[in-house]
Amino acid sequence: KIDRHVYVKVLRYHVLPWLKANYPSGQYVWTQDEAPSHTSKLAQDFCSRNFADFWPANYWPPTSPDLSPLDFVVTPHPNVDSLKASITAAWANMSTDFIKKSCAAFRHRVDAVIDAKGGYIE
């Protein structure tokens, strides 16, 4: 389980440096779901101070898997070891261009969710 302290360490030492290196102009929006580690005051404060553009917990619609980029690339696994191996291999093989294109498709999914009045989209 990832608690708020571990989550903020991941953001500080891995996510933020990657975003600064790949989006130096700050052209991104950092969003999170409602996981307790994401909605903690510690994480919310860190994100609002450090990310170029940040949507706080109350901006994100509840139960919104259609808006998560990972929901379009992650498949079920029979156990944790299988999941870890798959994530490690997939991340190592993902190009920066692929990640940027996946993020760029986000606006289209937001519009589709709005059109569906918060319902599920394909």
Q: Dump pLDDT digits (tens) for 38-65.
A: 999 999 999 999 998 888 877 876 666 6
- Same domain, residue pair 44 and 83: no
% of the chain at pLDDT higher than 90: 28
* Contact criterion met (CB below 8 Å) for 103 and 69: yes
| pLDDT(116) > 70 | yes
22: CB partners within 8 A, 6+ apart: 96, 99, 100
| pLDDT(2) > 90 | no
- Same domain, residue pair 37 and 5: yes
Span 96-102, mean pLDDT? 88
The number of angstroms, rounded, from the C-alpha of 63 to the middle of its chain's C-alpha atoms is: 14
Residue 107 host element (H or E): helix 106-115
- Final residue before a domain boundary, out of 60, 85, 103: 60
- Same domain, residue pair 19 and 46: yes
pLDDT score, position 57: 79
Can you tell me whether residue 33 is helix, strand or coil?
coil
* Contact criterion met (CB below 8 Å) for 52 and 31: no
| Residue-number span of the structural domain to which 81 is assigned | 62-121
Q: Is residue 59 classed exposed, middle or buried when 0-12, 13-18 and 19+ CB atoms within 10 A define those classes?
A: exposed
* pLDDT confidence bin for 68, thresholds 50/70/90: low
Q: What is the mean pLDDT of the chain?
A: 85
